[in-house]
Amino acid sequence: MKRDFDLIRIILLEFESRPPSNIPLKFQHDDYDPAIINAHMTLLIEAGLLDGSTHEQINGPKFAFPIGLTWEGHDFLDSIKDPTLWEKAKKNVITPAGGVAFSVLKDWAVSEAKRHLGLP
């Protein structure tokens, strides 16, 4: 499976809009297969952007049980929330490389967000 940064952004935006919870939250989206969503939420938990847990099955995929955004998740989302900056990130960073390391995207997004806001 290839990471889908649009889906990652959709998931983070959704979890930001939800009230705090200690109960794992479900997430569905009409444009994405539930297994792909689950795999991306697992990646987000493992990357420290979503708080929650994952559980492995003996003969199957891991299941994600997210409960909300982490501090790191909020910070990353803040840098890609603006639709104009997000489209710029896709055009200038993600698409030309055919995929990109998360750290590269994050560093670029933070730098671009600062520039967009006129910060040093």
Q: What is the pLDDT of residues 63-113, one digit of tens each?
A: 999 999 999 999 999 989 999 989 999 898 888 877 788 888 888 888 888
Q: Is the pLDDT of residue 21 over 90?
A: no
9 versus 57: which is more confidently predicted?
9
pTM of the model: 0.89
50: left (phi over 0), alpha (psi -120 to 50) or beta: beta
CA pair distance 106, 80, nearest whole angstrom = 9
